[in-house]
Amino acid sequence: MGKTGLLVSRVCLGTMTFGAKDWGCDRKTSIQLIDLYLNAGGNFIDTADIYAGSASEEIVGEALRDKKRDEIVLATKCFFRTGKSPNAKGLSRKHIIEACEASLRRLQTDYIDLYYMHGADPFAPLEETMRTLNDLVRQGKVRYLGCSNIFSWQILKANGISALFNLEKLTCGQYLYNLINREAEREILPACKDQGMGVTCWSPLAGGILLGKYQKEEKPTPGTRLFYRSEIDGPRFWHQRGFVMAEKLAELSQKTGISKVQLALSWLLHDKRVTSVIIGVKSENQLKENLVVGDWNLPDEVWEEVNKGTALDLGHLTQFASHAYRTTFGEEET
């Protein structure tokens, strides 16, 4: 993971669906999937205190209770509201400490391997946040620090504060990154590389849009994941580019003979800045198909074709930087 000595699986088991009513997995299925993932050699499990109203953490804790804890890299997050009180949210010292303690209880563990800021708090000073996270590391309750859903300038500011006051720095960023949403290439991936941070990608299959599970309609079909999460996932995936990229991926899959799942996941892992892709599965068959990319690399020529076929206009600054690098050094910056 980045410049740390931490080794994690290229395919991380995401647990947002575990315990989620209507569109997720029940407790029994969730525990079975965790067992299957670990038995297949995976060691990286991701959850958060708000997933399924905290039920996800409880399920993960139950599933790992009799496992060898030191063989598992467990990640969770804090930031979003977890209660009705005014301070049950954000990145204040009060909430971070209380959220961490609550996660430890639900996960039935003494420590969290990777603890993410799940977003940016516009009210809590970043100095307060970083000092508090540093305290958790010093107390042995957290091993590594990460961030998610914050801007690249906030990553640099957080690590700058840590450098100034000799605090623990961020070591990993968790970001939305897939063939539909490639904005991370503009500044997030370069920022994380500059800071020696790993990157984990969430929604690598765009909630199923990339797999052609949904047809281009006015609204998602009732009972589906995107139906229940239309306000959240709709703006991310349910748009013209989303459906165009799904069609393009289907064409490339047919041409190369590589499944759409494996094309989408292995394209991300081809980038050395990417540490791991976070998968969300609800069945053993889905898990097996996703795990294949952990031991397999996409051929360079196939990656290039997928890359060009799904390119996103990243704007003037990216264009200028690429042009300047090429005219100065004679090649594209990577």
Domains and CATH numbers, the chain: 11-308 (3.20.20.100)
Confidence of residue 213 (pLDDT cuts 50, 70, 90): confident
Confidence of residue 245 (pLDDT cuts 50, 70, 90): very high
Do the beta carbons of residue 116 and residue 144 sit within 8 Å?
no
- pLDDT above 60 (res 212): yes
Average pLDDT value for residue range 261-270: 97
Predicted local distance difference test score (pLDDT) of residue 322: 87
- pLDDT above 70 (res 183): yes
Predicted local distance difference test score (pLDDT) of residue 272: 96
Average pLDDT value for residue range 286-299: 95
Predicted local distance difference test score (pLDDT) of residue 39: 97
Average pLDDT value for residue range 145-170: 98
Confidence of residue 228 (pLDDT cuts 50, 70, 90): low
Do the beta carbons of residue 54 and residue 60 sit within 8 Å?
no
Confidence of residue 48 (pLDDT cuts 50, 70, 90): very high
Confidence of residue 210 (pLDDT cuts 50, 70, 90): very high
Confidence of residue 333 (pLDDT cuts 50, 70, 90): low
Predicted local distance difference test score (pLDDT) of residue 87: 97
Average pLDDT value for residue range 66-94: 97
User: Is the torsion defined by CA of 227, 232, 264, 275 positive or negative?
Assistant: negative
- pLDDT above 90 (res 207): no
Predicted local distance difference test score (pLDDT) of residue 22: 84
Average pLDDT value for residue range 231-245: 78
What mean pLDDT value characterizes the chain? 93
Look at 59 and 323; give whichever has higher pLDDT. 59
Predicted local distance difference test score (pLDDT) of residue 84: 95
Residue in the structure block whose two tokens are 């079909």: 221
- pLDDT above 60 (res 334): no
- pLDDT above 80 (res 230): no
In this structure, the number of other CB atoms found within 10 A of the CB of residue 319 comes to 11
Predicted local distance difference test score (pLDDT) of residue 239: 83
Burial class of residue 311 in the structure, from the number of CB atoms within 10 Å of its CB (0-12 exposed, 13-18 middle, 19+ buried):
exposed
Say what angle helices 93-107 and 126-138 make with each other, to 10 degrees: 40
Residue positions annotated with a catalytic role: 51
- pLDDT above 70 (res 38): yes
Cα–Cα distance for residue pair 167/164, rounded to 1 Å: 8
- pLDDT above 80 (res 234): no
Predicted local distance difference test score (pLDDT) of residue 226: 65
Output b/e per residue, 128-146; b: 16+ Cβ within 10 A: bbbbbbbbbbeeebbbbbb
Predicted local distance difference test score (pLDDT) of residue 218: 61
- pLDDT above 60 (res 205): yes
Average pLDDT value for residue range 256-264: 96
